[in-house]
Amino acid sequence: MTTQQKPLKPLPTPSRENKPFWDGLKQHEFRLQLCKACGSYRWLPKPACPNCLSEDTEWVKASGEGTLWTYSTVYRAGPAFADDIPFITAIVELKEKPLKCLVLSWLVNCKLEDVYVGMPVKVAFEAIPNEDITLYKFVPA
Amino acid sequence: MAPTKQAAIVGVYLTEQAVQIDRSSQSLQLEALKGALADAGLEAKDLDGIIATGGESDAGRWSRQLGKPLVDAGKSCMGATAVAEAVAHINAGLCEVVVVVHGNSGFRIGPDQVRWSGSVVPDKAPRLDEWNASVWGMYIIPWYAQMARRHMYEFGTTSEQLANVAVTFRHHATLNPRSIMGKRGTITIEDVLNSRMVCEPLHLLDCCLANHGAYAFVVTTAERARNLKKKPVYVLGAASAVWNSPYEDLTPNYYPSPATITGPKAMAQAGVTHDDLDVLGIYDCFTITVVRLMEDLGFCKLGEGGSFVAEGNLTLNGKWPTNLDGGLLSHSHNGLPGGMHVVEVVRQLRGEVEPQRQVPNAKIGFCHDQGFAVLGRHGSCVLAVD
Ligand SMILES: [Zn+2]
């Protein structure tokens, strides 16, 4: 038991349905659902393909590459994020097509003045200390 | 063919709107509910349907408070969306008199919204829903900031253009003695650009207020409305649509939003076009929200919202006078504030606001609300007086 001086950042609760995704992160793979009926990738994970409604799905390792679709530099945030300010929230458009896969996360290892919409980025992995979970972030490619 | 008078808004009420109100949310809501009924010349016994959501307020609680079963006529508790829900329930014969009520105290919008249980800081991280964006430090402002950034990238929209929205609605607030920010006077584009950067590219003055207060309005049949206290404000059209989940899943693109469906539907039902509209109430949680909604509602083309607002179209003397109470940016944002725009447009159409902000001879009004990340949930309605 350790005593924290400030709140810890909240973490997601992986679902049984999407376990392959969270397991993939631990192996440094960013996995997407691929529809076996029509070949569309989708994000966020969903029970069925938004293109054809097929449930016939395979989890596949994605490229982890994309471009910065939009972002914000955040100067005000909750107490758990106080030490991170300013941080860059990022929505990344993955390379996978044809449906647009827009992934929300942070852009890290990047100077504020170097960020621009359209910049090439790639996924990075962050194992959370003392927790059984790995999160995904983006860094300049 | 004259449009059908689908229903009517017959009573409206606002409590005090202030940064802090030392009363419970329920007390504020009750004042609003009673006030809206009284404005209509109705009593609580006349009520048989309710739209109320948000924490401690729901239809079941209200039914016990009022001592009788009520029809739960909707879940949105927003503005035009709630109008659409109320009208649908009334025209289906499920109920006849619906009150839409919302109010809150002690609830803040911002990064503090992620609360940790108890007073002890946990030594394990709190766990949220699987895709809860708060994991990324997200709250309402970054969501809209990201939309603003994308709009700037695609269409060359500028911070100066966005600032026009804040400047316009602050001017309107100065004409409304009950608005929170009006007493601070008008602001300039430079004031907006020089205000603190909250989430780039949105400055403090690009963001709405986060305050306390309540509103309510009463919807009933057009027939019953004719015999009530105030001039009926008829609902000629109303529509709603949703296109993502709350603040976790993005639409595949920001464009087009469901406003492109609800706006034309409501106007088609009403048999009106944009040029027929005398006064607007447009959801203005952020400056960019208004720019985007004006585009998707067809007041201008996609990508032209920035120049559209900068041309002064939304000012009191502009082509489409909008948010003449000061809007969410400068009058009040009390949690689920879509109904604030309905209340203001109803009062404009009745001709009962202060003369300095009254649109002369306003006959047809339009309200639009939205929510979710971002532009994900929408309602539009067309209101009119004889
Ligand atoms: Zn498919």
Closest-CA distance of chain A to residue B128, Å: 5
User: Residue A16 burial (CB < 10 Å; 0-12/13-18/19+)?
Assistant: exposed
**Distance (Å, whole) CA B205 – CA B196:** 8
Closest Cα in chain A to B373: A104
Which one of A3, A11, A130 has the shortest CB-CB distance to B135?
A11
Structural domain includes residue B344: no
Provide the shortest C-alpha distance from residue A33 to chain B (in Å): 15
Nearest CA in chain A to B133: A104
In total, the C-beta contacts within 8 angstroms joining chain A to chain B are 133
**Chain B residues whose beta carbon lies within 8 Å of the beta carbon of residue A11:** 125-128, 135
CA-based nearest residue to B109, from B285, B327, B343: B285
pLDDT of residue B207: 98
Residues of chain A with pLDDT under 50: 1-2, 4
Q: Is B322 part of a structural domain of the chain? A: yes
* Residue contact A11–B111, C-beta within 8 A: no
Distance CA A94, CA A87 (A): 21
Q: Could you say which residues from 52 to 111 on chain A have a Cβ atom under 8 Å away from some Cβ of chain B?
A: 69-81, 84, 87, 89, 91, 99-100, 102, 104-106
CA atoms within 13 A on the CB side of B120: 5
Q: Are residues B281 and B380 in the same domain?
A: yes
For residue B229, what are the domain limits? 7-110+212-235
Cα separation of B300 and A72, whole Å?
26
Asked whether the beta carbons of residue A78 and residue B124 sit closer than 8 angstroms, the reply is no
The contacts of residue B92 (CB under 8 Å, 6+ apart) are none
Q: Is residue B248, in this structure, part of any structural domain at all?
A: yes
Residues for chain A: how many in total? 141
Token pair, residue B135, equals: 């994991």
Pairing of strands A11-12, B127-128: parallel
Question: Residue B130 and residue A13: Cβ atoms within 8 Å?
Answer: yes
Non-local (6+) Cβ contacts of B2 within 8 A are: B271
8 A C-beta contact, residue B270 and residue B384:
yes
Query: Is some CB atom of chain A closer than 8 A to the CB atom of B363?
Result: no
Q: Choose the mutation target among B130, B141, B243, B374 for the interface with A, i.e. most A CBs under 10 Å.
A: B130
How many angstroms separate the alpha carbon of residue A1 from the centre of ligand 1?
Answer: 47
Number of domains within chain B = 2
How far is it, in rounded angstroms, from Cα B281 to Cα B324?
A: 8
CB contact under 8 A, A11 and B133: no
For residue B188 the two structure tokens come to 């300039």
The pLDDT value given to residue A5: 64
Domain stops at, among B235, B268, B283: B235
In this prediction, residue B122 carries a pLDDT of 62
Q: What is the CATH number of the domain that holds B217?
A: 3.40.47.10
Bridge-partner residues for B378, per DSSP? B241, B370
> Do B275 and B226 fall into the same domain?
no
On whether residue B330 sits in a domain, the answer given is yes
> Do B182 and B172 have their domain in common?
yes
Looking at the partner chain, which of A9, A75, A131 has a beta carbon nearest the beta carbon of B197?
Answer: A75
- Residue B129 in domain: no
Q: Which portions of chain B are predicted below pLDDT 50?
A: 113-119
Alpha-carbon distances of A137 from A14, A19, A60, A90, rounded to whole Å: 17, 18, 19, 9
Judged by DSSP in three states, B300 sits in coil
How far is Cα B170 from Cα B165, in angstroms, rounded to an integer? 8
Give the pLDDT score at B357.
Answer: 98
pLDDT on residue A76:
95
Q: Specify whether B263 is located in the same domain as B369.
A: yes
- Same-domain status, B178 and B305: yes
Q: For the whole prediction, is pTM greater than 0.90?
A: yes
Distance of CA B350 to the CA centre of its chain: 19
The answer on B150 and B295 residing in a single domain is yes
Nearest to A135 by CA among A50, A46, A8, A13: A13
Per-residue confidence (pLDDT) for residue B348, from 0 to 100:
98
Check whether residue B202 and residue B219 sit in a common domain: no
Q: How far apart are the first and last CA of chain A?
A: 38
B154 in the same domain as B51 = no
Q: Measured between beta carbons, which residues in chain A are less than 8 angstroms from residue B116? A: 7
Query: Is the CB of residue B350 less than 8 Å from the CB of residue B229?
Result: no
For residue A22, the CA-to-ligand 1 centroid distance in Å is: 22
Q: Where are the domains positioned within chain A?
A: 19-140
Side-chain-side CA neighbours of residue B157 (13 Å): 33
Distance A59 CA to ligand 1 centre (A): 13
Angle at B70 between CA B85 and CA B102, to 5 degrees: 55
Contact B139 A44 (CB under 8 A): no
Q: Say whether both B266 and B309 belong to one domain.
A: yes
Residue B227 lies in a domain: yes
Both B316 and B188 in a single domain? yes
Nearest CA in chain A to B134: A10
Cβ atoms B61, B73 nearer than 8 A: no
CA distance B31 to B29: 5
Q: What share of chain A is helix, strand, coil (3-state, %, to 5)?
A: 10, 40, 50
In a domain, residue B345? The reply is no
| Same domain assignment for residues B249 and B314 | yes
Intra-chain end-to-end CA distance of chain B, in Å: 15
Same domain, B77 and B204: no
Q: What is the mean pLDDT of chain A?
A: 94
CA of A92 to the centre of ligand 1 (A): 22
Determine the Cα–Cα distance for residues B225 and B206; give it in Å rounded to an integer: 39
